[in-house]
Structure 1
Amino acid sequence: MTLSLPLLASAALVAGLMGFPPVGAPTTEHRQQAASAVHPLRPAGEPAAGAVAPSGDDVVEHVAARSPSDQRRVLDYWTPRRMAAAVPIGLLGAATGLLGRPDAPARRQAARTGGARWTAGGAVTRTTGRVFLTLGGLDFVCSASSVKSANRDLVVTAGHCVKDGTGAWADNWTFVPGYDRGGQPYGQFAARRMFVAGPWSRSADDSYDIGMVALNARGGRHLEEVVGGQDIAFDAPRGRPAHSFGFPAEPPYDGEHLIYCAGPVHPDPHDQTGDQGMRCDMTAGSSGGPWLSGFDAVTGRGAITSVSSFKYSDDRATMYGPYFGGTARELYTTAESS
């Protein structure tokens, strides 16, 4: 049995509250916050803040900071000190919730194999950003990308950067596009609604480790008006080369610069997921960063066809990302209409 290690383990894992079975096996339900319980859709009007509702045939939604006071609370929360102190969840991977379990997935980070700092500029430097979030009372970082959408406010990231598998939703979720060495040239955007695929919410299925977040406007301007958005593609031919981007924050990286890997992708050789793999050394903090197919290094544009998700313990040189098929399309269609 080959063990997998997500680029970010869950906050419940960090707290030692749960263990994980082998990839592909059903997970055991564990403690959820009251706000994370799934409720029926209301007959009219918007769900209350914190409510969760099924949004499509296989999409689960969480309402985040919708009111001006909620938005201000989130934006005020992320002081420079808190941002500097936030860590990739993978830094705490050897948690007590896994110790002594021979069948539990290893949660340590990958060894180095060849990511590089992106210095060519282009749209990708604006559309890719860092995510700051709170899970289980701890502050963490991820990566995400602005994507073209009907609501002009949408980012795509990993499911585990939005919801702790079958457990809690993230709080204080904030996107900082164009982040560089602490700089925030386009400001911060607080989440207003979060979406994950049903299989991720029900069983933390790595094949569906996809999250999409609709953001609040900033100063009356939508995210896409400020930084633009990448294209997104579904059911693309498998095996196409891609560029992956993110903000890895474990050594040898520090989370302060946009890093990329590029090359061919291949199927999961262990047949435990429907994901595709790419040779890449990015570490924790890069979770949720976009994989761009058909990428043009001059313009910095491509089509998002996956996001960084996990690595296997016996192949720490390869990063895996979920294939964007029908479920990802449904997730996007629901989220862009929110």
Structure 2
Amino acid sequence: MTLSSPLLAAVPLVAGLMGPALVGATPPQRPAPSAQADHRPPGAPGAGPRAARTGQATKAAGAARRTDVVEHVAARGPADERRVLGYWTPRRMAAALPLGLAGSVTGSLAGLTRTAQRDGGLLGGLTTPERRPAAAERRPALPQQTTYGARWSAGGVVTKTTGRVFMTMNGADFVCSASTVRSANRDVVVTAGHCVKDGAGQWAANWTFVPGYRDGGGHPYGRYPARRMFVAGPWSRSADDSHDVGMVVLGTSSGRHVADVVGAQEIAFNRPRGGHAFGFGYPADPPYNGEHLVYCAGRLRDDPYGETRDQGLGCDMTAGSSGGPWLSGFDHDTGKGTLTSLSSFKYSDDHRTMYGPYFGDAVKTLFTTAERA
């Protein structure tokens, strides 16, 4: 379920991974053609775990789709970029809410549109997540090859190439995660499509990437506003989760390209399915607090419901981790790997598996377009 305009009169959103697990879901069924506005409770006829999860139900798998690229100009010049950077005061950054995986938020959209904003904070309707240390974030001295969620403290390039995203969507401020990738223009970051565009709805505004985000909102490597944004056509038209990928071309920080400052991870397409991956992000809903880089690690497996081409990774990261990179061939000594997917959604009846889109030809086209911008 995304934040698109047809949902403004919706009843409170399914909490999904941001709240208690849903119960009573029927076996997975193929979603209705109007799944974008499907508000049926999980136990209703035709409503499976996917229709009730914190994301956008897709059309039948295997349906023919165009994979064109949809572009949005986020900043038309230095003045626009300065305005965006000026918007993100420390108070606004601290008050920004974690955007749920595949686009849900705690609270209700009706409440969201009615609430007043004061310096980025929401009054009523939505509340900011509790900021407290998370037991699940404690980690052993060495990185684990299999973990559902642990704080990353091994250092390496990944601590700089991964960062938090701050943006405004439908009048409210949110956070996601993203990663730099090696690109011709040295300005591309990869994140989830729903962290860039609300499915068939609005594009995000005030979009800013903070690499190597530190406790308390620090930005040791600068802040980078978006210049141009790109998503695949199937995401822009129908929030197709198999295409939940966004590429953002950044402006510079003090005249320097982001990849020149923090480095970049490699990116690859059409890799064999399965294998092992490390996923990174800044989950901000309890038991996490959004102030630390967290990782999951394990074997990838196909979507058991067959509704997407996505693969699953055992991971209990919560909202705010959307868009965080999944790195294959990851070297924990250097913190380098190859980006082959990202955190996208969870099913409502399985909060310990994160799903990420497969990086095939459509994502390759998206990337090629972005690195030339």
Residues 1:58 and 2:48 are matched in the alignment: no
Cα deviations by residue, 1:94-136 (Å, 9 ceiling, x for unpaired)? 5367xxxxxxxxxxx9xx8830000000000000000000011
Give identity over the alignment, percent. 64
Secondary structure of the structure 2 residue equivalent to 1:207: helix
For residues 82-161 of structure 1, the aligned pairs below 5 Å read 82-90=92-100, 92-93=105-106, 95=108, 114-161=148-195
For residues 213-224 of structure 1, the aligned pairs below 5 Å read 213-224=248-259
Cα deviations by residue, 1:113-166 (Å, 9 ceiling, x for unpaired)? 830000000000000000000011100000000000000000000000000000
1:10 corresponding residue in structure 2: 3
CA distance in 2, matches of 1:164, 1:24: 19
Residues 1:174 and 2:184 are matched in the alignment: no
CA distance in 1, matches of 2:94, 2:270: 38
Structure 1's consecutive aligned runs of 4 or more residues displaced over 2 angstroms after TM superposition are 9-20, 22-30, 89-97
CA distance in 2, matches of 1:273, 1:122: 33
CA contact (8 A) 1:199 1:205 kept: yes
Which amino acid counterpart does residue 105 of structure 2 have in structure 1? L
Which amino acid counterpart does residue 146 of structure 1 have in structure 2? T
* TM-score, reference length from structure 1: 0.81
Cα deviations by residue, 1:244-272 (Å, 9 ceiling, x for unpaired)? 00000000011000000000010000001
Match of 1:278 among 309, 313, 338: 313
1:312 corresponding residue in structure 2: 347
CA contact (8 A) 1:14 1:95 kept: no
Which amino acid counterpart does residue 97 of structure 2 have in structure 1? V
1:52 corresponding residue in structure 2: none
CA gap of 1:310–1:335, structure 2 versus 1, over 3 A, is: same
CA RMSD of aligned residues (A): 2.4
CA distance in 1, matches of 2:285, 2:370: 31
Please, which runs of 5 or more residues in structure 2 have no aligned partner?
A: 15-28, 38-65, 111-128, 130-135, 137-146
What is the total number of aligned residue pairs between the two structures?
A: 292
Secondary structure of the structure 2 residue equivalent to 1:264: strand
Please, which runs of 5 or more residues in structure 1 have no aligned partner?
A: 31-55, 98-108
Shift of 1:240: 1.3
CA gap of 1:139–1:295, structure 2 versus 1, over 3 A, is: same
CA contact (8 A) 1:231 1:303 kept: yes
Which amino acid counterpart does residue 80 of structure 1 have in structure 2? P
CA distance in 2, matches of 1:25, 1:62: 29
1:190 corresponding residue in structure 2: 225
CA contact (8 A) 1:10 1:160 kept: no
* TM-score, reference length from structure 2: 0.74
Which amino acid counterpart does residue 193 of structure 2 have in structure 1? G
